[in-house]
């Protein structure tokens, strides 16, 4: 029984940290998306912006699934809407940023890649737990 208590307590602490880290990342992403951007340099990598969107949303979906393991589909829907909202707000409320369908598609790609990674890791972890020790 003592072991069960520590396991439950550990899961509670992990869940709290997952929630804190997810919401900090969500807030940070929200802020960064509205920081005045610089135009792509002619000699720079022109798709760096899209890669940043993909990476941000890969991380956000992983953190969301860790924070809300029983609401994974809601997390996906929320992040899809969040990505669209960012682009709409950038297009309508800022003069230094532009909303872009391409950026939103990069967000969606990040979510899909992040989901695939999470599912693969979950399956790998499940298989490892089935191996007799």
Two tokens, residue 115: 């989901």
Say which residue, 3 or 114, is predicted with more confidence.
114
How many domains is the chain built from?
1
Question: Cβ of 2: how many Cβ atoms within 10 Å?
Answer: 6
What local confidence, expressed as pLDDT, does residue 57 receive?
97
Using pLDDT thresholds of 50, 70 and 90, give the confidence band for residue 112: very high
Single pTM value for the model: 0.80
Name the residue among 19, 31, 10, 34 with its Cα closest to residue 91.
34
- Give the model's pLDDT for residue 54: 97
DSSP string covering 67-117, please? H-TT-HHHHHHHHHHHHHHHHHHHHHH-SS----HHHHHHHHHHHHHHHHH
Share of the chain above pLDDT 90, in %: 56
DSSP 132: -
Residue, of 15 and 85, whose pLDDT is higher: 85
What domain range is 103 assigned to?
2-36+45-130
Tell me the per-residue pLDDT of 60-96, one tens digit each, with 9 for 90 and over: 999 999 999 999 999 999 999 999 999 999 999 888 8
């Amino acid at each position: 029984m003592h072991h069960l208590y520590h396991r439950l307590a550990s899961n509670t602490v992990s869940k709290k940290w997952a929630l804190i880290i997810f919401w900090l990342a969500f807030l940070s992403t929200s802020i960064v998306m509205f920081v005045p951007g610089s135009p792509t340099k002619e000699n720079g990598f022109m798709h760096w912006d899209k890669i940043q969107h993909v990476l941000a949303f890969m991380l956000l979906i992983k953190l969301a699934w860790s924070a809300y393991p029983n609401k994974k589909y809601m997390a996906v829907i929320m992040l899809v809407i969040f990505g669209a909202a960012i682009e709409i707000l950038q297009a309508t409320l800022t003069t230094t940023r532009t909303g872009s369908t391409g950026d939103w598609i990069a967000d969606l790609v990040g979510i899909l890649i992040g989901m695939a990674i999470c599912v693969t890791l979950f399956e790998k972890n499940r298989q490892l737990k089935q191996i007799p020790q």
